[in-house]
Amino acid sequence: MTYILMNKKLSLVTIFNIHNQKINYKLSQHPSINSKGKRLLDIIGAFTGLLITSILFIPIAIAIKLDSRGSIFFTQTRCGYRGKKFKIWKFRSMVSNAEQLKHRVENKVQGAFFKNENDPRITRVGKFLRKTSLDEFPQFWNILKGDMSLVGTRPPTVSEVANYTLEHYQRLYVKPGLTGEWQVNGRSQINNFEEVVSLDLRYQEKWSLFYDLKIILKTINLIFTKNSGAY
């Protein structure tokens, strides 16, 4: 297993490989991190998204409560920019003890992430929320706080990052996003983590404020397209 340690003050990543060899890598800062235009776009988008969420909250909350026992929201620790941990918010789309049942569900994809098209933990309402991406609307709060961006990489779990190689870790050089390259390029059809990493690195290479706007427009279009949602 590869172990990755961060020194945020020095912007240094230390890698311990399977042979316990230590390698230090100096991180360069991606231009999107200090972009005032990107942050302004995030704030405007977050306020707009939270307004829509507040309108939809009551019917979604009632549906979740009537469908299954448990809280309205689901929170989980994720890793953001340079591995910084934060609490992500979603409308609950699974049974309340989903994390405890995860070991019983087969992972249908390869690499450091988890997906199963027929995950039995997903509730009836949860399938609709995921299909329409409504389950992710509470993340506009994460965007407003600055933990996430409208556009970026998929925010990984702590356990996923624990299995990263250096190449995988490069996807954390930008803030995680509500949407991104892999979401608009067939996320439900991507079954190999290396493809996710490739798309994330492509986003970093092609990034510009205009490119973010292009991905946002593609995402809005996909929400209303059949079979566009997540598992």
pTM to 2 decimals?
0.83
pLDDT of residue 42: 98
Q: CA 183 → CA 101, 116, 159, 165, distances in Å?
A: 26, 16, 21, 22
Average pLDDT of the chain to the nearest whole number: 85
pLDDT digits (tens, 9 = 90+) for 48-101: 999 999 999 999 999 999 999 999 999 999 999 988 999 999 999 999 888 888
Note every long-range contact of 216-224, with CB atoms under 8 Å and residues 24 or more positions apart, other chains counting.
216/45, 216/150, 216/151, 216/179, 218/184, 219/179, 219/183, 219/184, 222/183, 222/184, 223/132, 223/133
Cα 21 from Cα 133, distance rounded (Å): 42
Residues 111-164 pLDDT 10s: 677 778 788 899 999 999 998 999 999 999 999 999 999 999 989 999 888 888
3-state secondary structure of 7: strand
- CA count, 13 A, side-chain hemisphere, 43: 6
Cβ pair 154, 78 in contact under 8 A? no
- Looking only at the bridges linking them, the beta strands covering 3-7 and 12-16 are antiparallel
Cα distance between residue 55 and residue 165, in whole Å: 42
Looking from the CA of 37 toward its CB, the CA atoms found within 13 Å total 9
Sequence letter at residue 162: A
